Amino acid sequence: MTKVDIDAVIPNNVDLAADRRLQRALEGWRPRFLEWWRQRGPAEFQDRDIYLRTAIDVGQEGWSNFGHVKMPDYRWGIFLAEPTPDRRIAFGDNRGAPVWQEVPGEHRSTLRRLVVVQGDTEPASVEQQRDLCATAPSLYDLRNLFQVNVEEARHLWAMVYLLHRYFGRDGRDEADELLQRHSGDPDRPRILGAFNQPTPDWLSFYLFTYFTDRDGKFQLASLRESAFDPLSRTCDFMLKEEAYHMFVGAAGIGRVVLRTVELMQEHDTDEVGPLGGISVATLQRYLNLHYSLSLDLFGAETSTNAANYFAAGLKGRLQEERREDDHRLHHQTVAVPDISEEDIGRRPVPALTALNAVLRQDYADDCQKGVDRWNRILAPVGLTLRLPHVGFNRAVGVFAGHRVSPDGRILTEEQWAAARPTWLPTEEDEAGVRSLMQPVRQPGRMAAWIAPPASGVHNQPLDFEYVHL
């Protein structure tokens, strides 16, 4: 068991005090981080006390505490899950060998790239969500937004620790650049597409935390399998925090759907927009957008990058050890989605190159579970939400450059242009949703377009003062 140093400038369980150079380097990065947080983090409420969860340990018997804290004083720490004794590489060409505690020279630049891509998404999401605090539908939701934000910032710390500790000078430079790229910046954008899209309203926020944070879950779960043990242990602990972010999304959409159903039943109409709600048609269009953007985050269906990561032991599959195959994948094939001018189908490819598609399918199955839950809420009004076809609105992989309808038909450019407003958010949708985004700040009160949550945070009542105003 590594001791937790909770009172250090940077709380940690990696014995930072024993490595003075590293400690100084990270303490040197900290003011730049705080400056970034002030400029790019939540636009308001920085001087208010917020009821937040803070990671303080990694053990079974409680890894966090809850209390009111001002966000700039949040105790962002570095925590790695407990090591697994005699852990072995579970997949790839080195399967069975001991995992690595240092970065092998031949994998240095590839691993650094993976850590940088992962690290880049964390501050990106905070930047995307910066202005949402002005329009939160309740204090409960406002607090949840900040919870997500401070923990994404802790995940940035997690990756910055790896960069500083294991990648020398290059790593330190990359850590600085994580604060210099910005979401949507035309000159220095974030690395992955979805992280340069705005999150302009709370409907988008819930969909982002449902769909895009769920990509985070699947990517982190793949990196948790890594032969590079510090990365594995870091991702393992990040996944604990990530679960709540996806809950915020799943429950948030569920509450929107519930309110929509109430309004439909009360007024006997599908058109709840004029009544201050969000119609199922609008919801579906927003869902289509966020799901398709998130599918792009898995990369192309066939990828030599993914094959190389796997063969080298850098990035595995979800729950690698529960899979019943040889974990090397040199001789298997897998059918992946494919499209030609006339036809959408599947095509067999070497399993090693199909890892992005396999992970994406696991992700799609997981996404479907939430949709099923929302549809149970919708059942009384006889409507349903659906995940669009994997080829719909895609910019990465085989479907990029093709026009595919949500039900999986190939379209001409004209057909696409004509039908687009029925499938993706229109200006009218956006204006309607925007008009609903009026802040509600009395404890326990809720905006009219969303139902209250089933319970408060950490056994607190719903009318608790989650944010001291």
Report the interface residues with ligand BYC, using CB under 6 A. Answer: 114, 117-118, 121-122, 125, 152, 192-193, 212-213, 215-216, 219, 296-300, 303, 305-306, 315, 356, 396
CA distance 69 to 245: 19
Residue 121 CB, nearest approach to ligand BYC (Å):
4
Residue 295 CB, nearest approach to ligand BYC (Å):
9
Residue 299 CB, nearest approach to ligand BYC (Å):
3
Residue 195 CB, nearest approach to ligand BYC (Å):
8
Closer to ligand BYC by CB, 224 or 259: give it.
224
> HEC profile for 5-36?
ECCCCCCECCCHHHCHHHHHHHHHHHHHHHHH
Length of the chain: 469
Sign of CA dihedral 188, 165, 53, 207: positive
Sequence-distant (6+) residues with CB within 8 A of 94 are 227, 312, 313
Other Cβ atoms less than 10 A from the Cβ of 317: the count is 23
Token pair listed for 402 = 């093709």
Closer to ligand BYC by CB, 20 or 188: give it.
188
**Torsion (CA) 446, 452, 453, 459 in degrees, nearest 10:** 70
Token pair listed for 47 = 């001087």
Closer to ligand BYC by CB, 180 or 438: give it.
180
Closer to ligand BYC by CB, 147 or 303: give it.
303
Residue 52 CB, nearest approach to ligand BYC (Å):
17
Tell me 209's DSSP state.
Answer: I
Residue 463 CB, nearest approach to ligand BYC (Å):
29
Closer to ligand BYC by CB, 114 or 248: give it.
114
Residue 224 CB, nearest approach to ligand BYC (Å):
11
Q: Name which of 143, 160, 156 is nearest 53 in CA terms.
A: 143
Closer to ligand BYC by CB, 29 or 298: give it.
298
Closer to ligand BYC by CB, 149 or 405: give it.
149
Say whether 338 sits in a helix, a strand or coil. strand
Residue 401 CB, nearest approach to ligand BYC (Å):
14
Q: Kindly write down the DSSP assignment for every residue of 353-381, as one continuous string.
A: GGHHHHHHHHHHHHHHHHHHHHHHHHGGG
Chain CA centroid to CA 457, Å: 21
Chain CA centroid to CA 183, Å: 14
Q: Name which of 210, 184, 199 is nearest 131 in CA terms.
A: 199
Residue 388 CB, nearest approach to ligand BYC (Å):
17
Residue 192 CB, nearest approach to ligand BYC (Å):
4
Closer to ligand BYC by CB, 12 or 121: give it.
121
Closer to ligand BYC by CB, 63 or 208: give it.
208
Instruction: Give me the amino acid identity at 281.
Output: A
Q: Are strands 49-55 and 333-339 parallel, antiparallel or unpaired?
A: unpaired
Residue 414 CB, nearest approach to ligand BYC (Å):
27
CA distance 192 to 128: 13
Q: Any alpha helices (H) in 104-228, and if so which ranges? A: 108-128, 139-166, 168-177, 202-207, 213-223
Closer to ligand BYC by CB, 5 or 141: give it.
141
Other Cβ atoms less than 10 A from the Cβ of 265: the count is 11
Closer to ligand BYC by CB, 132 or 462: give it.
132
Element (H, E) at 296: none
CA distance 445 to 140: 9
